[in-house]
Structure 1
């Protein structure tokens, strides 16, 4: 079979033979359980090679066979390519069919289906013999079964197989996420992975020693090959790939370098061995690799001891500045920090999604609550848009100003949600005309101007969002997560308390200036 088969879910040939409504009968070739069909193609071309990708069930009524007689004569060219192909031309009917079957096998077809109507009443014996010699499964399609019915049956079987595959992936992801939350997460994840892949799952340390293993044991030869494959993906080799696959006999092998390592560093490797014909579980294995990358952070020098010490300092009453100093040391001496707020679009922020985003941002300092993830990054780490997420990013601040950066990131996220953009960054208040006024004077004016709203933070937030979105009720409602009628009621209440005409652009500008300082 060619190296590239169609990107579809394979269907066992035996599943088609079990369909009573099709009435298919195998008359030559290997057992159907060993044959996988990826596609269906109907053709009366004399030479099938230019028209097949590989893995097809090729259907033909034998129109191009000589004279329509079973097993006799030469190709008459009807429906043929007309290009002097390898199978067109002289020779006996047996020779013609021998060449046709050989070319069909060369094209990578999975099986040949021969229709008994309207040209042939029986399957040519020479065709049966040729398929038997070349190991090509040959099916008889009865006159009552149109080729479109066979194709439809394959599409239905493929859809059902795909549905089962997606359900299996979902169940595996749920199992892996639950395992990652156990007290012994690493061996629990490996056990779940081995169960769902029916494979041997091994976690190797940076020196190649086995840390944990689960699943059925493999042969010594497969074990040696698995160690050699794991060495290929270790990051101490410059340019090493993130993953690699191999096979030993009937055992399929795969190795994944866990994230975080680099040249000169040590990282664990996830190694898998499965006794099966195909290893198609890359999605499940990749999910496990992400989880194990997060769970084995100590092997990546992630500063766990410093983070623990910082937490202990806070619990024992130390000031935040002293606790953050430890995190600064863990972040290669960075003195300023960026806060990121993130919210998933159209889905819940579950543990798996949090882990994936944390890995993408390159930080273990994350917190997820109320559907919003908050992350702390040392200055210098670039933050870019992430698929499926909406991000708000603060400006870099000293450790003592992290609460301010947290508020900046929160406001930027609200703005990103309202504008339906993937990422928004904090906009400095000290720009434009605002920079012409001393900050102390501006803040004093803001406090006095907004004093009637001092006891109503919801009104302040609503007024800020509504003005920033040019008086749009709907967009303000989206940004605040409330109903548009709630926005209308709050704005009306704020206008009454401030005794302000909010339809006046000058009044809005004045209030916007004040809102930037509270």
Structure 2
């Protein structure tokens, strides 16, 4: 079903009713009398079945009748196309090529409030066009003034440092339009500028005609293709400045978007450098707090925004993580396959990271701004490993009750691994077996033999044999609490120093 155009008379402009009252034109209203208050900006002759790709809205379309279809349904569709494009009225020449008009034609005109006028044969179309041009001659001066002021938007951006919301409110006042911005999917494009209330007005493609009922919809250009769309509706009581001004507003939106993306990328690079230095523990607490403050994160122990959280995110793309945390200040650093994130601790941040599709996220305990990241880094890495192994999307530190007791020294961890697991590691490497992986899977599933065998895709008898062989090689009895704990800590140490995945 088509959209009914929301035509509003322009203050000081020409309406269809005023045009009908011109005695010299002798126009007669055939249908759509409820739409006589529509504004008329131009009069144009068209004999095309669909002239809408070449219209801007508020035109009076004049035809000898050659464009009118013969069939009833086609006549109704023709009127709806014109109305959806914002045409003010349709004028038909009397006694020329107008086919018999069906009831559906008149019903559509009445339902849409689309005025249909009859032009006497003695009145040439050029006479109507001249009267319209003369009546609206003041409008070009008003539009030129609006254009010159809107074109000054680039100067405002440079000299006044306006934020996005203030900039676009000023553009709305000058242009006479209510402005909306959104991505092709209907999401916000720039902060402070609302999305269109009805996504149905968005064009099907960037090459679609710009005219929509009550205004215009234009692509916002960006490298690689449009970043989204600008939708501009005529405001009640305003004098819309026309398509040229709306096109310039779309250009301003594109420039503002490019500036925002540049600022975001610069801030992201600074954040990554800061987080890298914090992880290396080379910054003093005062320098850390200064940088955190500049990057929008809690910077003081008594900051009302609370504590910080360090997270390790695995199996996630940078852009996916950026979208999930779009509303939250954060520092992000990629280290090989892991993404390290520093953010203010909040339920919203935890929820956003819990919902990352296919990702495994580990979180440290909350800590105050300026604190060393040595301990939070270990905590987040352990929690991420636990999330990966268990298949959970988000694991806060504390679920891994064994790993917290391991020392920091890689040499000590390596000694523990070699002492407990060395024989098994050498046996697996030499015989292409999976004894260690089988024992780890069995332990992670709380020694449930059938569950572990299913996860390993082997028969439970095969897994039982592997457990016995592991015990023989290590000399550890997995049914004894002390031996079980030692093996579990050794497996955690092997994971920590990268001996196993």
What is the TM-score when the length of structure 2 is the normalising length? 0.40
Which is bigger in relative contact order (C-alpha 8 A, separation at least 6)?
Answer: 2
- Structure showing greater radius of gyration is 2
Output the TM-score relative to the length of structure 1: 0.39
